[in-house]
Structure 1
């Protein structure tokens, strides 16, 4: 069966305002979600290195539960199931940010834990020998070194979270993929529109990667 494959990039050009609006929302969800994810991951990571069995155990359960389930299921659960338990509605954008935060938090917890544990014990002993308390040693000796080592994996997590936002179309969030779907439903130019959407993701991830590489060079992270 012969089919004429004709390209009409004007359809993608006409769709660009909607796709760019989707890109803006994608960045908002990614950045805000990762911000809260960092707070969650920091708390969970510190709990895992605290030496407190209860806190470490709770953190370990959270990390394994989230890493052991797909973010798609987590987003659906937060938007559709959690409101039933709470007896209240959750807005799509709130659910989207929560899904990114909860998911990224589990991975960031492991980044925090690994970075802290990678600091040589001799650094801690040196701090204590100078008369610093355990807390002072952590915040003035361990944490600055650990945070520098977190930058590359945190940057990778931002890129992963940005791409994960495409899954949020399942709950109706108007990010890039959702906007592209709506455009294609009206003009049937799937190749042009979805190719443009993919290029927007590529441009965003490449830009973030270049910015992060520049930061790593300036901070001499290695």
Structure 2
């Protein structure tokens, strides 16, 4: 069963850097879009909320495969140039998972007790200051676990980039190894599963460290918030 194991592992590992690059780039874009769209959905402006909701529902409600094909194959026909496959993949991963992340941000901010909002207002903090100094430090702690799940899902979705010729792990396994070693497909797919599992565990470990850091950060303004709410009798 494990004949040519070293060859299979070496070949699949050649695709690992592109899998990591696609996942890392997708995560960065996901975080950016999650906060922009999530906070936009809480805006006082009806038009800002509407545009954010259109983005969220549009990207959550359509197929990720079709989105990938649209960005890579259809959009070039409209704009006259084609993105590099990896960048097209990162763009789709970020846009798609950013739509889900926006709901995480919105829900976490809404979960912050109303008294914290009122205490910040009583201190004459502006909207940006309230969000940055009081609301987000508390909300961020609640965001980390669901973002962990979202980033793992993004990692698994990176395998779709094999459909647009990105030579990541799945492409190396399905397009390079399996056609030449059909009788050992089980071994190839098993190694692929283990590689994705390892990368998922890395994401989980990093996010747990982030969660601990976020809890400490949220603890620093907690004393000030407690003093503020105490003085206000909240």
Same fold, TM-score > 0.5, yes or no:
yes
For residues 80 and 162 of structure 1, what CA distance do their matches in structure 2 show? Answer: 22
Partner of 2:221: none
Is the 8 Å Cα contact of residues 45 and 112 (structure 1) preserved in structure 2? yes
Partner of 2:179: 185
Partner of 1:164: 157
Is the 8 Å Cα contact of residues 22 and 158 (structure 2) preserved in structure 1? yes
Could you list the structure 1 runs, at least 4 aligned residues long, displaced by more than 6 angstroms after superposition: none
For residues 126 and 87 of structure 2, what CA distance do their matches in structure 1 show? Answer: 40
2:190 pairs, out of 195, 211, 219, with: 195
Report the TM-score, using the length of structure 1 for normalisation. 0.90
For residues 69 and 216 of structure 1, what CA distance do their matches in structure 2 show? Answer: 31
Partner of 2:208: 213
Gaps of 5+ in 2: 217-234
2:119 pairs, out of 116, 123, 126, with: 126
Count of matched residue pairs: 215
Report the TM-score, using the length of structure 2 for normalisation. 0.86
2:59 pairs, out of 60, 66, 75, with: 66
Q: CA shift at 1:141, angstroms?
A: 0.7
For residues 146 and 187 of structure 1, what CA distance do their matches in structure 2 show? Answer: 50
Q: Deviations over 1:32-83 (max 9, x none)?
A: 1110121112111111001211011011011111111121111111111111
For residues 153 and 103 of structure 1, what CA distance do their matches in structure 2 show? Answer: 15
Q: CA RMSD in A?
A: 1.8
Q: CA shift at 1:216, angstroms?
A: 2.9
Q: CA shift at 1:219, angstroms?
A: 4.4
Is the 8 Å Cα contact of residues 11 and 193 (structure 1) preserved in structure 2? no
- Report SS of the residue matched to 1:23: helix
Gaps of 5+ in 1: 1-6
